[in-house]
Chain A
Amino acid sequence: MTGLRWRIVLAAVVLGVALVYALPSVLPDKGPLSAVLPDKEVNLGLDLKGGVNLILGVDMEKAMHNTLGRMGDELRSESRSNKIIVLSPQVVEDNRLQFILLDTSRADALEDLIDRQYSRQLNIESREVEEDRIRYQLAMTSEYREELHKMTIDQVLKVIRNRINEFGVTEPDIRRLQDNRLQVQLPGLEDAGRAVDLIQKTAHLEFQLVDDEADVNKAEQGVVPPGAELAFLQKRQPDGSYSKQPIVLKKNVLLSGEHITDAQVAFDQFNQPYVALSFDRQGSRIFERVTGENVHERLAIVLDDTVYSAPTIQEKISGGRASITGQFSMEEAHDLAIALRAGSLPAPVDILSERSVGASLGQQSIDQGIRSIVAGGILVLVFMLVYYGIGGLITDILLFLNIVLITAVLAGFGATLTLPGIAGIILLIGMAVDASVLIYERIREELRRGLSPRKAVDEGFSRATLTIVDANVTTIMAAIILYQFGTGPIRGFAVTLSVGVLASMFTAIFVSRIFFDLWLKQRKPGSSLNL
């Protein structure tokens, strides 16, 4: 009984604060209270709110491969301007850059150049002398590999974030995971297909000349003239499907997407959508020169290795504007414009896992969850009331307080409630009475042994407390492990379970003792304890 008043004050303060934090999540309309109450509410997980959860894998191997390939081209032109002839740079196994030096006497000059320009990025791994040539193999330094790793992930994250932000989803969540992975959460999105397409689009735009002298049929059989490559021109059919028509392009890239400053959807005179591009100053100059030099040739607009259109250049184009026409649908043109504005991905991105829940199923899960909580709750409340009388009533009040505490903690800490989380709350309603049952059964036993009500309550609480703490430690242990290793929804379960177990321990040991002391106090001396 010591300090009963203080214990009441403490319990009232804790529960009062809990109520303030719990209310915003429960009240459908806060009305004038909204000025007073905290604005934090329980977050709903995607499985309850509906939406798409994607795990993306960044293809780092491919990023390294691309970078090495680009460095090989740079090295070749760099060498050429130093009068060194380097042949066929290519990326070979184990991510090594291989090329051949034509004149062995220039070996020192070449290695000097590599040392000057690339010592931070590349190491010479091997030199094989073959008659009058030297075959070099270069590998990335480990520092540069790490740097590239980080840069690539940062770039991918930035590009995807830009694209998603323009896509028009409310509160998207994009974050980095371990092992070159990203997680993208798009609440409220029903059709993941478009988002997936947009995210995966590399959006690598290139302008190349069409090699009209080459024989397309021969090229299809694998005979491609030197300096040219086979590509496919995509045409949209009236029924919405696509046809692919082979076309031979000159390999040399005249202009690429990095010079784009803006991309917008526009409409031609037939009301067909197309994407209008604007280049930066340098891009405009290059475009002007390229079109001026190649009048009457065909210029192919290549996006992610697919040729969208290959119009004939009628005249020199100045002003830094171009357009991609390809008989797009409105949505396609819109998404393509976003992708081009947001920049290209430095590495391909794979969808490693996708989980999407329709908003209707989410709402259905919430309804079913609440129904289970109410049904299970009422059954347990009635059972306890019938079985323990006033003691049962106390337990019922505690159960209610538990729910308030759980809601408050979830809201206050911004935790996420998921469907398994709701299941955790339901499970807890069944398990939380355990603490009360342990105490009450012990009190009953002590009463049977002939102890006075006050002594029996004392004994019951003191003997049961340790067991309650111990028995709950195992559940909390399981919950912590689940939190550590589980994915989103399971984490929700771990959170509600452990918060609930702690809440039930607080109410059963601390709050319930207050009720018992009050009960004992106002009871007529000498009457029995109705438990």
Chain B
Amino acid sequence: MGLQIIKPDTNIDFMGKRLWAMFASLMVLALGLGAIVLQGGLNYGIDFAGGINIQVKFDRDIQAAEVQEALKSQNMPEIRVQQLGLDQAHEYLLRISAEGAKPEEMRTRVDQALSQSMEGEFSIQRLEMVGPKVGADLKNKALQALFYAVLFISIYISGRFEHKWMTAGIMAAGLLTGLYVLGLLAVPLAYLILAALVITLGLTWYLRLNYALGAVVALIHDVLITVGIFSLLGKEFDLTIVAALLTIMGYSLNDTIVIYDRIRENLRAQKKLPLMQTINQSVNQTLSRTLLTSGTTVLVVLCLMVLGGGVIHDFALALLIGVLVGTYSSIFVAGSMLLGIGPTPEKEPEDEAVQAA
């Protein structure tokens, strides 16, 4: 036998701690959402808000304030200076939000300002300008991506978790009808996403697709908490963060699928046991796999965050938060949800017994 971190007979009472977990989730959620409200919404990067980013690398230790001071003396439009990645990289991102600022002119002026008022060498490594039109477009595309992700994932998991593709079909039809009507009313895309979520939750509840309902709740939980923590840390949202969020959705579902499959398998095997015990047993049986997979994923994401450089740092950070939250939620949130609403009633006994690990 190789190593074992989780002993085979481990039996942690996860469900007994569900109130604590719920409390913790709500606290973090409230903190994150509070941060978003206090900042007056999400902190958009230039991909969505438009503007100019100039990345500068210095050859020595420098404070962001120093850079700010050097630029201020040169009568430039307002520039926000942010450190990128780790301290020893000496990389800074200058963000210019002034409308109509010409990128190449800004490059020259930043270059002049820094070489006049700062000692040491530096180089301008990267320049990005997103105009308002492209910014609005990218925002729209990001929202569309989230919208379709919610749509497809909802339909997929209602079919997948329940092995009732007919019901999933009804679900899809209901969802598409609702969204089509809203689309006719020219509802903004952000509200469409919200509506898609609400309709999904309502339909899964109404059609008694309880596994699907639990999975969607866990998914929303993960994305909201990641977004909240990200805002709390004062990080910017851009396209790569949306990519990270979609990846997190996939990852979170992946985890939930494994645990729910085990719960269903155990429910079929031992009908007598109380639900709480079955869920606990299932979570414990898959615990070793859950921790191993999260462990290796966290390991590589940490490597990326530490070694990958400033450009990719925030992307890695979002993934790290998402993987950690996703692991937690598949144990606590998905399990507690099922305990609260009960598993999907299995009507037909001849329902093909799809068994899974």
Residues on A lying within 8 angstroms of B by beta carbon are 47, 55, 57, 192-193, 196, 350-358, 360-361, 364-365, 368-369, 371-372, 375-377, 379-380, 383-384, 386-389, 391-392, 419-420, 422-423, 426-427, 429-431, 433-434, 437-439, 441-442, 444-445, 448, 460, 463-464, 466-467, 470-479, 481-482, 484-487, 489-490, 493-494, 497, 530-531
Out of A361, A379, A438, A481, name the residue touching B55 (CB < 8 Å).
Answer: A361
Determine the chain A residues whose CB is within 8 A of the CB of B315 once the complex forms.
Answer: 420, 423
Whether, in the assembled complex, B304 has its beta carbon less than 8 Å from a beta carbon of chain A, the answer is yes
- Smallest Cβ-Cβ distance to B5: which chain A residue: A387
**Do B153 and A474 touch across chains, with their CB atoms under 8 A apart?**
yes
B156 contact from A379, A433, A474, A530, Cβ within 8 A: A474
B296 A351 Cβ-Cβ under 8 A:
no
Specify which chain B residues have a CB less than 8 angstroms from the CB of A494 in the assembled complex: 243
Assess whether B118 is interfacial by the CB under 8 Å rule. no
Q: Smallest Cβ distance from A267 to chain B, in angstroms?
A: 28
Contact, CB under 8 Å: A463 / B124: no
Cα distance, A196 to B286, chains bound together (Å):
57
Q: Are B319 and A427 in contact (CB under 8 A)?
A: yes
Instruction: Tell me the complex Cα distance, A520–B113, Å.
Output: 70
**CB pair A487 B2 closer than 8 Å:** no
Given contacts A360-B125, A481-B149, contact A388 B246 (CB under 8 A): no
A-B pairs, top 10 by smallest CB distance, nearest first, are: A376-B300, A430-B300, A430-B297, A193-B104, A376-B303, A485-B145, A361-B125, A478-B250, A475-B250, A464-B357
CB <8 Å contact, A387 and B3: yes
Interface string of B243-276 (1 = CB under 8 A from A): 1001101110110011001000000000000000
Q: Is the CB of A361 within 8 A of B300?
A: no
* B128 & A355 in contact (Cβ 8 Å cutoff): yes
Nearest residue in A to B149 (C-beta to C-beta)?
A: A481
B304 engages A423 (CB within 8 Å): yes
B103 is an interface residue with CB less than 8 A from chain A:
yes
Q: Are B128 and A383 in contact (CB under 8 A)?
A: no
Contacts of A437 in B (CB 8 A): 289, 292-293
**Could you pull out 18 A-B pairs where Cβ atoms are within 8 angstroms?**
A352-B134, A361-B57, A368-B307, A369-B312, A372-B300, A372-B308, A375-B307, A379-B300, A423-B315, A426-B300, A427-B247, A438-B289, A467-B356, A474-B156, A475-B250, A475-B251, A476-B250, A487-B138
Q: B130 within 8 Å of A by Cβ?
A: yes
Within 8 A of A (CB), among B117-165: 123-131, 133-134, 138, 141-142, 144-145, 148-149, 152-153, 156, 160
Contact of A429 among B123, B128, B300 (CB under 8 A): B300
> Shortest CB–CB separation between residue B299 and chain A, in angstroms?
5
Are B134 and A380 touching (Cβ within 8 A)? Answer: no
Partner of B123, one of A360, A384, A426, A477: A360
If A437-B292, A484-B145, A485-B141 are given as contacts, then 9 extra A-B residue pairs at C-beta distance below 8 Å, sorted by A number, are A193-B104, A196-B104, A360-B123, A375-B307, A419-B312, A433-B296, A482-B243, A486-B145, A493-B243
C-alpha spacing A375/B296, complex, angstroms = 12
Contact flags (1/0) for B44-67 with A, using CB distance below 8 Å?
Answer: 000000000001010000000000
A57: which B residues are within 8 A, CB to CB?
133
| Interchain nearest-CB distance for A215 vs B (Å) | 35
What's the A-B contact tally at a CB cutoff of 8 Å?
241
B301 contacts chain A at the CB level, 8 A cutoff: yes
Find residues 303-337 in chain B having any chain A CB closer than 8 Å to their own CB: 303-304, 306-309, 311-312, 315-316, 319
Judge if B8 is at the interface, Cβ distance under 8 Å.
yes
With contacts A369-B308, A478-B249, A531-B2 taken as known, whether A55 is within 8 angstroms of B296 at the C-beta atoms is no
Q: Give the nearest-CB partner of B262 in chain A.
A: A467
Which chain A residue shows the least CB distance to B6?
A441
Q: Is chain B's interface secondary structure helix, strand, loop, or mixed overall?
A: helix
Inter-subunit contact B127/A354 (CB<8 Å): yes
Q: Is the CB of A386 within 8 A of B3?
A: yes
Set of chain A residues within 8 Å of B354, measured between Cβ atoms: 466
Determine if A427 and B297 form an interchain contact, defined as CB atoms under 8 angstroms apart. yes
Bound CA–CA A439/B152 (angstroms):
28
- Give the docked Cα–Cα distance between A379 and B107 (Å): 41
- Residues of A near B308 (CB, < 8 A) are 368-369, 372, 422-423, 426
The answer for the CA separation of A460 and B123 in the assembled complex, in Å, is 55
Which residues does chain A contribute within 8 Å of B145, judged by CB atoms? 481-482, 484-486
- Please, how many angstroms separate the alpha-carbon atoms of A354 and B240 in the complex? 17
The answer to whether B239 has its CB under 8 Å from any CB of chain A is yes
- Chain B residues whose C-beta falls within 8 Å of the C-beta of A481 in the assembled complex: 145, 148-149, 152, 246
CB-nearest residue of chain B relative to A197?
Answer: B104
Find chain A residues with CB under 8 A from B301 CB.
426-427, 430
Q: Chain B CB within 10 Å — which of A375, A383, A434, A464 has the most?
A: A434
Asked if B43 CB lies within 8 Å of chain A CBs, one says no
Given contacts A463-B356, A475-B250, A481-B152, are A383 and B296 in contact (CB under 8 A)? yes
Contact B292 A358 (CB under 8 A): no
B299 and A430 form a contact (CB under 8 A): yes
Across the interface, do B309 and A364 meet the contact criterion of CB distance under 8 Å? yes
A477-B240 in contact (CB<8A): no
| Across-interface contacts of A442 in B (CB, < 8 A) | 357
**CA gap between A437 and B296 in the complex, in Å:** 11
Verify A463–B8 contact, CB threshold 8 A.
no
Q: Given that A352-B133, A383-B299, A423-B308 are contacting pairs, would A489 and B288 also be in contact in the complex, using a CB cutoff of 8 Å?
A: no
Residue of A nearest to B133 (CB): A352
A356, B153: Cβ atoms under 8 Å?
A: no
Q: Which of B125, B152, B300 contacts A477 (CB 8 A)?
A: B152
A433 partner residues in chain B, CB cutoff 8 A: 292-293, 296
Closest to A355 in B: B128
Complex contact A478–B125 (CB within 8 A): no
- Evaluate contact between B250 and A427: CB separation under 8 angstroms: no
Measured CA separation A467–B354 after assembly (Å)? 10
Interface string of B1-28 (1 = CB under 8 A from A): 1110100100000000000000000000
List, in ascending order, chain A residues with CB within 8 A of B141's CB.
485-487
B88 at the interface (CB under 8 A from A): no
Asked whether A530 lies within 8 Å of B246 as measured between CB atoms, the reply is no
